[in-house]
Amino acid sequence: MPLNVPTEYLQGFITSGQQFWRTMAGLDTNGAPLDDASAALQPLKTLTAPVALLEAHSAYWPQLATVWTRTLAGTMGAETEPVITPERGDRRFAAEDWHKNAWYSLLKQNYLLNARLLEDIVDAVATTEKDKRKFKFFTRQLIDSLSPANFAATNPEALKLAFESSGESLRDGFTNLLADMQRGNISITDESAYEVGHNVAASQGSVVFENDLFQLIQYAPLTEKVAKRPLLIVPPCINKFYILDLQPENSFVRFACEQGMTVFMVSWRNPDATMAQTTWDDYVEHGALTALNVAQSITRADRVNAVGWCVGGTILSSATAIARARGEDKVASLTLLTTMLDFEEPGELGVFIDEAGVAQRESAIGRGGIYSGKELGFTFQTLRANDLIWPYVIGNYLKGKSPPAFDLLYWNADSTNLPGPMYTWYLRNMYLENNLRKPGRLTMCGTPVDLGNIDTPAYVLATEEDHIVPWRSAHRSTQLLGGPTQFVLGASGHIAGVVNPASKNKRSFKVSDDSTADPDAWLASAETRPGSWWNHWIEWLTPYAEESVKARVKPGNAVHKPVEPAPGRYVKVRTA
């Protein structure tokens, strides 16, 4: 049906809007600078690139007008296509009403257009790349928070549910809100569905060593014969270790045991006030180095195959470099999972790191104190707010529902504190000053650290969508380590890319023998292989495992006797 749209009005609307932003950018109608631009506009011109600003608004106004005209046409029965659609993977507008109802479609498209405009304005800001990343991050937080899906009055699913339940859903949502306020965090899974040691972290084994910093778990063998050299895993100290031992079908620990490995796992203690003085050196000397010694002593192996994940990989690499500087050859192979050794490009976490912020942390807890795991956990949630915050605000509070059980999210909610001195040293020397990559710049445990002294073979895994350890940053490790390296690029992100069970054969990974320092050149040469990187890794590891010996039935030895059954008590301590 033809529709009499006031085209003169719309054209004037577009022209006026475009002219307004030309003037704001200090340009004439042809895009040339205005000689008599108002002095009041000078700050804006210094902050922005005028042409880019003009282009952003020149695109915005016609699109906004088209949204309105198509919405009007749709109300008259015409078939129309949306002017703008959500990005792939954006699940906020999946409900049918966002597409078929004219009002909700208008809301959605206006929001998406305004979001794009804000992002384009940020792109036009003339500032340092670091400051622009911060500006983009916090602008994205604002954009995400203002989604119409986040408000009861503009969320079609929440409104429909409220009417159908005669308001019960809203009452339940308010009850959920009060409960979460008492807890101090947003519920993201049904925590009552899991119990550490029962249906997560349930692999059989024994704690064979403990000190004030960690417990060492030795897992029971699952094969009659095992590799002579054991496998030691050093997980991040900012989370619990059992991300690598969730349930049998997705347990990396179980997979390694099934491949004939004797697996040892570091279970870091959840720090309390008694650990307020604990330093980075303590995590290296009394953590990773001690774990290497104990695993080697129990198995009587000449060396140990070692795996480190994220900051656990940074700690393990530091320990390995120190051991080599001391003339000790403890590590037969080194596997680094989504680990940074060069922090030049620290990813989205870099937006929180600057001199003022680090100095403030040092003043508050650098000489003694505890950094709250809940605060750290919320920081990580903001990096993926549309996955880890807003869906639960909508589900828990607007719809009055309880989140479903999900083992990975249960682990994610099980936060861990950090000692203030260790945390602030890590912030300054890694994220802020990037000292670890510089040979001899850092002294740890009384020993100058040079990653180039690590001449052991290394398997370096990065993941394509990692927002915590960008894969190009992880690739730089290949140029810092002194031995031969195998770089592998897995699909997905920081967690799902690592926990990719071989039995499910999902996703893919990229490999190449190219040892170039240029990550993009490496990517161009890489071959994509289907399935999990776990199978590729175990093939790579096998030559460094030595010959097979009869499996050790009894855990520990005469010196390091079993303390308690796995997973031990350290991992069960929850953050208050």
Q: Which pLDDT tens digit goes with each residue over 142-187?
A: 999 999 999 999 999 999 999 999 999 999 999 999 999 988 889 9
Q: Are residues 115 and 218 in the same domain?
A: no
116 shares its domain with 240: no
Final residue in a domain of this structure, among 106, 126, 146? 126
For 504, half-sphere exposure in the C-beta direction (CA atoms, 13 angstrom radius) is 12
End position of a domain, from candidates 126, 143, 164: 126
pLDDT tier for residue 11 given thresholds of 50, 70 and 90: low
- Output the pLDDT for position 452: 97
- How many domains, the chain? 2
Domain boundary among 126, 159, 188: 126
Does residue 377 lie within any of the structural domains? no
Residue 136 lies in a domain: no
| Residue 464 forms part of a structural domain | yes
Asked if 121 and 212 sit in the same domain, the reply is no
Q: In this structure, what token pair is assigned to residue 327?
A: 């003339």
CA torsion 372→373→379→384, rounded to 10°?
-170
CA-nearest of 512, 530, 529 to 521 is: 512
- Is 160 domain-assigned? no
* Pair 240, 367 in one domain: yes
pLDDT tens figures, 513-565? 999 999 999 999 999 999 999 999 999 999 999 999 999 889 999 999 999 99
**Cβ count near 166 (within 10 Å):** 9
CA distance 71 to 245: 51
**Strand duo 418-419 + 331-337: pairing:** unpaired
Residue 137 lies in a domain: no
Work out whether strand 231-234 and strand 263-268 pair parallel, antiparallel, or are unpaired.
parallel
| CA-based torsion, 564, 567, 569, 570: positive or negative | positive
Amino acid in the structure at residue 171: R
**So what's the pLDDT on residue 367?**
94
Residues 111, 252, single domain; the answer is no
- Determine, yes or no, domain membership for 449: yes
311 and 421 in a common domain: yes
Cα 224 to Cα 205: distance, rounded to the nearest angstrom: 16
Shared domain check, 113 and 244: no
What are the structure tokens assigned to 114, written together? 């305004």
Residue 430: is it exposed, middle or buried by C-beta count within 10 angstroms (0-12/13-18/19+)?
Answer: buried
The sign of the CA dihedral 552, 553, 559, 562 is positive
Number of other CB atoms surrounding residue 188 within 10 Å: 22
Q: Name the amino acid, one letter, at 39.
A: A
- CATH number, residue 544: 3.40.50.1820
Band of the pLDDT at 12, cuts 50, 70, 90? low
Query: Are 92 and 216 within one domain?
Result: no
Would you place residue 15 in the very low, low, confident or very high pLDDT band (cuts 50, 70, 90)? low
Distance between CA atoms of residues 315 and 291, nearest Å: 12
User: Where does the pLDDT of residue 50 fall: very low under 50, low under 70, confident under 90, or very high at 90 and above?
Assistant: low
Report the percent of the chain where pLDDT is more than 90: 76
Burial (CB count <10 Å: 0-12, 13-18, 19+), residue 12: exposed
Give the pLDDT of residue 179.
Answer: 93
Q: Select from 318, 516, 570 the least CA-distant residue to 436.
A: 318
Nearest CA to 456 out of 543, 331, 338, 341 is that of: 331
Q: Are residues 118 and 252 in the same domain?
A: no
Q: Are residues 122 and 225 in the same domain?
A: no
405 within a domain of the structure (yes/no): no
Check whether residue 114 and residue 210 sit in a common domain: no
Domain-embedded: residue 507: yes
Phi, psi of 305 (to 5 degrees): -85, 130
pLDDT, averaged across the chain = 90
Instruction: Give the active site residues.
Output: 310
The parent domain of residue 35 ranges over: 7-126
Same domain, yes or no: 256 and 356: yes
Parallel, antiparallel or unpaired: strands 231-234 and 331-337 = unpaired
Residue percentage of the chain with pLDDT more than 70: 91
Q: Which residue in 322, 279, 340 sits closest to 448, CA to CA?
A: 322
Q: Which two tokens stand for residue 70?
A: 């198509």
